[in-house]
Amino acid sequence: MRGNRDLFIVAAGVGVSEFGNALSLLVLLFWATPISSLLVAAVLIAELLPFVLGAPLTGALVDRLPNRRLLIAGLLCEGAAIAAIAPSMGQPVLVVALVLVFGCGRAVAQPCVAALVPHIAGEEHSTRAYALIGTTRSVGNIAGVTGGALLAGFFGHPTAMLFNGAAFLVYAVLVAFVRSERRPTGEHQTRSSALAGIRHVRRDSVLFAAIVGLACFVGATVVINVADPAFVRFVLHGNEFLLGAIQACWMVGIIVGNRVAARLKSASQLAHALAITGLTTGIAVLIPAVFPFVAAAVIGWFIGGVSNGVDNVTVNAIVRLRTPEEMRGRAFAAVGSMVTGANLLGTAAAGGLLLVMGPRAVFAFGGVGAFLCGAVCLVFVRRALKREESPAEAELSPN
């Protein structure tokens, strides 16, 4: 019962945090879109950059310091940075810098939650716990994109950002009531151990195939994040309310995907599910590219959300399943770095693509790329699993 209590607190806090994150992202994207597509890309890159460059440091921190306390520190950093954006929205450079600070706090908080969950829920219930957290994250996102549209529309962008900063403070207060703690011993730390998570992923052929495949189709799909505002504004002729409503469809899909993924148990099931979502994500993005109507966009966003929900659960579950407990912080940070690095590259590419082609063409580009990456990922995952199952080949494998 104590574990359930702590899990519900953390899950509720994640929902509050994602409400604030979705709210701020919606506001910042609509604020930046009329200025320049490059500014849209810069905002997204600033949030993602700490995940890529800071992974060795954040992973080492998570495997060295008490995770609950470290999580609170990361949340306070996020809240302070977002609140500081409110009076600074007339200065784009300063806003981008503050988003970078926000990203630093987020880069610490996410692996903390992922590593803390097995200590709260127990190893045997971790996949379901990740699904519960994914569900509350999606609910928070839905509330954020819809609430963000309302707040921005009625009270203005600065007020919405101040409200967002308060959301992270609420999350930090909730975490303070969590009793469970992950206290790393540091026994396995060495001078170069910050990179141990990356080496671990590379040496595990199944994990490597799944995560690299995920990174590739995420990198292809993420171009729509930059193209979303332009697609809604110029193709669907909508406003921030329509953008929020369509993004809410994606979040509803994530909730469904979370429940589907909660039933998966073995590494084979998790790896196959993760690869297949590359195919379904590609199809989801192609639907609004081919049929530029609101109804088609709603269907595409829902399918994409289901795929995203499966990814969110399976990636955490497969890392937990194939990683020793004492180095999970570094493994989660390494995986986050790989996936977010691809996200960053796709985001940067989208900013340039929108300068030379329309949003529909960008969607088509991303959809085809995601589908092809998913197909290749599925082939390599099956090969890696087959090698593991074959004793003769396993002896020749680096694992």
Q: Is 237 exposed, middle or buried (0-12, 13-18, 19+ CB in 10 A)?
A: exposed
Would you state the structure tokens that stand for residue 309, as one six-digit string? 């929900």
Residues 6+ apart with CB under 8 A from 166: 20, 79, 83
pLDDT at 193: 59
**Which is higher by pLDDT, 57 or 285?**
285
pLDDT in tens, 193-205: 557 888 899 999 9
352 or 15: which leads in pLDDT: 15
Of 22-26, 48-52, 193-197, 331-335, give the range with the top mean pLDDT. Answer: 331-335
Say how far residue 311 (Cα) sits from the centre of its chain.
9
Q: Give me 239's structure tokens.
A: 């406003």
| CATH class of the domain at 2-180+195-396 | mainly alpha
DSSP 8-state assignment for residue 90: T
Whether residue 101 has pLDDT greater than 90: yes
Structure tokens at 338: 């790989």
- Predicted pLDDT at 94: 92
Smallest Cα–Cα separation from 29: which of 49, 43, 8, 45?
A: 43
Mean pLDDT, range 47-69, rounded to an integer: 87
Give the pLDDT of residue 186: 56
CA distance 352 to 10: 39
Position 390 scores a pLDDT of 66
Task: Evaluate whether 303 touches 26 at the Cβ level (below 8 Å).
Answer: no
Q: Residues 39-68: what's their mean pLDDT? A: 86
What is the reported pLDDT for 187?
A: 52
Structure tokens given for 398: 């680096």
Whether 280 shows a pLDDT value over 90: the answer reads: yes
pLDDT-based confidence at residue 240 (cuts at 50, 70, 90): low
Backbone angles phi, psi at 268, to 5 degrees: -65, -45
Does 9 have pLDDT greater than 70?
yes
pLDDT value at residue 192: 46
**Chain position carrying tokens 């997204």:** 44
DSSP-assigned letters across all residues of 348-375:
HHHHHHHHHS-HHHHHHHHHHHHHHHHH
pLDDT at 277: 96
pLDDT of amino acid 149? 67
Are the C-beta atoms of residues 322 and 206 closer than 8 Å to each other? yes
Q: Which residues contact 363 (CB under 8 A, 6 or more apart)?
A: 223, 224, 227, 231, 285, 286, 288, 289
Cα distances (Å, whole numbers) of residue 365 to 223, 233, 303, 346, 360:
8, 19, 18, 11, 9
- What's the Cα-to-Cα distance from 375 to each of 169, 272, 281, 304, rounded to whole Å? 42, 11, 11, 16
Q: Rounded CA gap, 384 and 112, in Å?
A: 29
- Torsion over CA: 353, 357, 358, 363 (sign): negative
Sign of CA dihedral 162, 166, 167, 169: positive
Give the separation between CA 127 and CA 318, rounded to whole angstroms: 9
User: Taking each helix axis from N to C terminus, what angle separates 359-389 and 223-230, rounded to the nearest 10 degrees?
Assistant: 160
Q: How far is CA 137 from the centre of its chain?
A: 10
Q: What is the CA radius of gyration of the chain?
A: 20
Q: What is the mean pLDDT of residues 328-344?
A: 87
pLDDT band at 395 (very low <50, low <70, confident <90, very high): very low
Most confidently modeled of 22-26, 59-63, 183-187? Answer: 59-63
Q: Which amino acid is at 209?
A: A
For a pLDDT cut of 90, what percent of the chain falls above it?
40
pLDDT tens by residue, 301-317: 999 999 999 998 999 99
- Smallest CA-to-CA distance from 24 within 86, 70, 101, 76 is with 86
- pLDDT in the model for residue 44: 79
Phi, psi angle pair for 292, to nearest 5°: -80, 65
pLDDT category at 396 given cuts 50, 70, 90 is very low
Contacts 24+ apart (CB under 8 A), 93-98: 95/28, 95/43, 96/39, 96/42, 96/43, 96/46, 97/46
Cα 59 from Cα 64, distance rounded (Å):
9
